[in-house]
């Protein structure tokens, strides 16, 4: 196996494990009430000590060479503070104020920063391919942060700040230790970077005041963050940097945002979000949250199951008592059925306070992109699968989603606020 192939494998493995560690960190923040600064301190100290022990075994105890020369000692300290510690802290704070996918994508402005630095050092103009990469990175971050509207951030100010800070720190992390890696190796360089960074953070973070809910799950996930989210990926990635150089290594490590985004969608979503793809799912999720907002308590998650599917004359109707208030609702899918319902409402044959319309028959599960097997529409079967996922999800209420709670706390202020009404509600004149 040649050097380039090894470098690609090492950097991609680092990116994959980092993406997974972000998911674990998000769970520990939201479900176990650990704080970002405390978890970062723990992983730096533990992982750094473990890597130094491994380096000592490999090099028969000779792991203090870096401190014997002023030049290398200063370089190692710079890496500790502005590369390793800053990178870790800013990344996990970005996760705490957003989610792993958003934090990771923001962090990956770093390849553009690394490229610009290398161009400046080499005193040359960028190649066409390099320009294309830079434009794509900038455009991607812009869309993530604003959803195309420069006047409105789609992520909170704190999340954006720490995400961009993570990008700068990651650039330093890639560029600065190149000479150290070549002289002392990745295990020793990273080990000292983590351990000293962790020691410096102890008085700042109040490390000995342990936050959160500690049980076997917390312990196992904390160990996973240390080993699989720190020791393995950092060692792999910096070995890739040594073999490929900072620019190429950072490009291949961009697999991390993909892993983080996919894993976030699969593991950190809510059951109430899953059922949006079935007819009646949007209304059911809304009714669950409406009940909570009116009563202050969560209903039985299946209390509004009567609106699932299509049961009469092209649409489903039901009535529910919410704290003494009787509301009449209807769910319809397919534009033909929607037309019939609108005519019935216009003729005052029926009256509803809340109507859900799905253009596709059976909802998104029966949309144009779904396969039809032997001429049979399978929307109902697919919808049943979505409700199965809902039943087996820990969080079954949209308002209990930590990301939604954080969004309202940091941006919308509260449900039905002026900003929420302005951005989330649309009015149509007929």
pLDDT at residue 267 in the model: 62
Rounded to the nearest 5 degrees, what angle is found at the Cα of 35, between the Cα atoms of 30 and 36?
100
Instruction: Please say if the pLDDT value at position 294 is more than 70.
Output: yes
pLDDT at residue 405 in the model: 81
Instruction: Encode pLDDT of 72-102 as tens digits.
Output: 999 999 998 888 888 878 887 887 787 766 7
Instruction: Please say if the pLDDT value at position 127 is more than 70.
Output: yes
Q: Residue range 93-112: average pLDDT?
A: 76
pLDDT at residue 271 in the model: 63
Nearest to 40 by CA among 91, 103, 80: 91
Higher local confidence (pLDDT), 399 or 362: 399
Q: Residue range 262-268: average pLDDT?
A: 62
pLDDT-derived band at 149 (thresholds 50, 70, 90) equals low
pLDDT at residue 249 in the model: 76
Dump strand ranges (E) for 227-297: none
204: tokens are 């700042």
- β-pairing, 354-358 vs 325-333, is parallel
Distances (CA, A) of 334 to 339, 374, 379: 9, 21, 12
**CA 389/CA 414 separation, integer angstroms:** 28
Percent of the chain with pLDDT over 90: 11
Instruction: Encode pLDDT of 329-386 as tens digits.
Output: 999 988 888 899 899 999 999 999 999 998 887 777 777 666 565 556 667 777 777 7
Q: CA Rg, the chain, in Å?
A: 26
Instruction: Please say if the pLDDT value at position 4 is more than 80.
Output: yes
Q: What is the mean pLDDT of the chain?
A: 81
pLDDT-derived band at 400 (thresholds 50, 70, 90) equals confident
Domains in the chain with CATH codes = 3-267 (no CATH), 271-400 (3.40.950.10)
**CA 86/CA 164 separation, integer angstroms:** 12
Of the given ranges (96-105, 139-148, 233-242, 382-391), which has the lowest mean pLDDT? 139-148
Instruction: Encode pLDDT of 218-231 as tens digits.
Output: 999 999 988 888 88
Of the given ranges (63-67, 282-286, 419-423), which has the lowest mean pLDDT? 419-423
**CA 192/CA 47 separation, integer angstroms:** 10
Prediction pTM value: 0.56
Q: Residue range 184-195: average pLDDT?
A: 87
pLDDT-derived band at 181 (thresholds 50, 70, 90) equals confident
178: tokens are 């190149």
């Amino acid at each position: 196996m040649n050097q380039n192939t090894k470098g690609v494998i090492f950097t991609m493995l680092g990116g994959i494990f980092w993406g997974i560690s972000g998911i674990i960190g998000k769970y520990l923040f939201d479900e176990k009430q650990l704080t970002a600064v405390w978890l970062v301190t723990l992983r730096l100290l533990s992982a750094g000590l473990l890597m130094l022990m491994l380096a000592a075994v490999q090099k028969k105890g000779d792991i203090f060479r870096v401190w014997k020369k002023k030049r290398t000692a200063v370089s190692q300290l710079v890496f500790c503070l502005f590369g390793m510690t800053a990178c870790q802290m800013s990344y996990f704070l970005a996760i705490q104020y957003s989610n792993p996918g958003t934090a990771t994508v923001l962090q990956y402005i770093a390849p553009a920063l690394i490229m610009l630095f290398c161009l400046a050092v080499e005193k040359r103009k960028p190649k066409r391919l390099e320009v294309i990469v830079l434009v794509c990175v900038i455009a991607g971050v812009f869309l993530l942060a604003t959803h195309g509207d420069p006047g409105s951030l789609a992520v909170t100010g704190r999340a954006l700040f720490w995400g961009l800070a993570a990008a700068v720190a990651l650039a330093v992390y890639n560029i600065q230790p190149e000479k150290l890696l070549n002289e002392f190796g990745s295990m020793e360089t990273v080990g000292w970077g983590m351990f000293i960074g962790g020691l410096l953070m102890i008085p700042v973070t109040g490390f000995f005041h342990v936050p959160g809910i500690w049980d076997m799950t917390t312990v196992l996930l904390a160990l996973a963050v240390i080993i699989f989210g720190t020791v393995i990926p950092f060692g792999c990635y910096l070995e890739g940097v040594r073999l490929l150089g900072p620019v190429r290594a950072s490009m291949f490590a961009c697999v991390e945002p993909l892993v983080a985004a996919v894993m976030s969608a699969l593991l950190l979503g809510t059951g109430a979000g899953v059922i949006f793809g079935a007819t009646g799912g949007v209304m059911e999720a809304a009714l669950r949250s409406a009940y909570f907002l009116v009563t202050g308590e969560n209903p039985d998650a299946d209390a509004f199951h009567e609106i699932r599917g299509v049961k009469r004359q092209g649409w489903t109707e039901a009535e529910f008592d919410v704290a003494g208030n009787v509301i009449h609702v209807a769910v319809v899918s397919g534009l033909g059925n929607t037309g019939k319902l609108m005519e019935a409402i216009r003729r005052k044959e029926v009256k509803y306070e809340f109507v859900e319309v799905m253009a596709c028959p059976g909802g998104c599960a029966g949309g144009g992109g779904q396969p039809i097997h032997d001429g049979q529409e399978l929307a109902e079967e697919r919808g049943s699968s979505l409700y199965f996922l809902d039943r087996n999800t820990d969080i079954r209420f949209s308002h209990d989603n930590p990301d939604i709670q954080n969004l309202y706390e940091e941006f919308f202020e509260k449900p039905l606020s002026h900003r929420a009404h302005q951005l989330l509600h649309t009015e149509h004149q007929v």
